[in-house]
Amino acid sequence: MRKGELTRAAILDVALELASRDGLEGLTIGLLADKMNMSKSGVFAHFGSREDLQIEVLKLYHSRFEQEVFFPSVQEARGITRLKAMFARWIKRVSVEIASGCIYISGAVEYDDRPGPIREELVAMVRAWQGALLRCVQQAIECGDLKPDTDAEQLVYEMYGLILALHHDARFLRMPGSVERAKAGFDRLIQNYQNPQKHQG
């Protein structure tokens, strides 16, 4: 990487850290310049506007989410094994983010009623992840791991609900045992939807 690219990558790293803590709207060029010991114009040279910076931070977050959660999980066998791997890695990531914050979740609160490119980017990323979960559930139905009449969209909705509850209780209410509750909730979901004919004995 050239020096300019290295500087830009370093700025984005710090920007992601700040956005995780303060939200995307809390991310300012001035704050970032202070953290980087750079001038505002120096930061602006790498990003055309604050909005461009916020979108690049979102893309970095999404890329890291894929690297940590999605890509390793799709190496697992199709079906219930892959679905469990996805949820386990998702839980692991959220457990780490209890200290820093999840940009998908905080961004949803910040931009739920604020139209524009940042909201569109955020929605597209969350929908892409939900789509990946849905495909995984559908594959688990097709290979017989889950009951044929499983409502795939309902299962994804319930999985997402567990993650939102985990984030809320662990980060906002500081309730101990939240991770274990989320795992127990997922185990109960799987037991409910699992195909008994394939999993006898």
Q: How far apart are CA 134 and CA 126, in angstroms?
A: 12
SS3 at position 146:
strand
Residues 6+ apart with CB under 8 A from 153: 134
Identify the DSSP state of 24.
G
Q: How far apart are CA 53 and CA 151, in angstroms?
A: 39
pTM: 0.91
**From the centroid of its chain, how far is CA 114?**
20
Q: What is the pLDDT along the chain (201 residues), one digit of tens a residue?
A: 688 889 999 999 999 999 998 899 999 889 999 999 999 999 888 988 899 999 999 999 999 999 999 999 999 999 999 999 999 999 999 998 888 888 999 899 899 999 999 999 999 999 999 999 999 999 999 999 999 999 999 999 999 999 999 999 999 999 999 999 999 999 999 999 999 877 544
CATH class for the domain made up of 51-193 = mainly alpha
| pLDDT of res. 197 | 79
Four-residue CA torsion sign, 84, 104, 53, 40: negative
Q: How far apart are CA 58 and CA 104, in angstroms?
A: 9
| pLDDT of res. 199 | 56
Whole-angstrom CA distances from 132 to 25, 135, 147, 176 are: 28, 5, 19, 30
- 92 phi, psi to nearest 5 deg: -60, -45
- 164: closest CA among 113, 84, 102, 72? 102
Question: Which tokens sit at 152?
Answer: 């795939």
Identify the DSSP state of 172.
I
Identify the DSSP state of 38.
-
Task: Round the CA-based radius of gyration of the chain to a whole number and report it.
Answer: 19
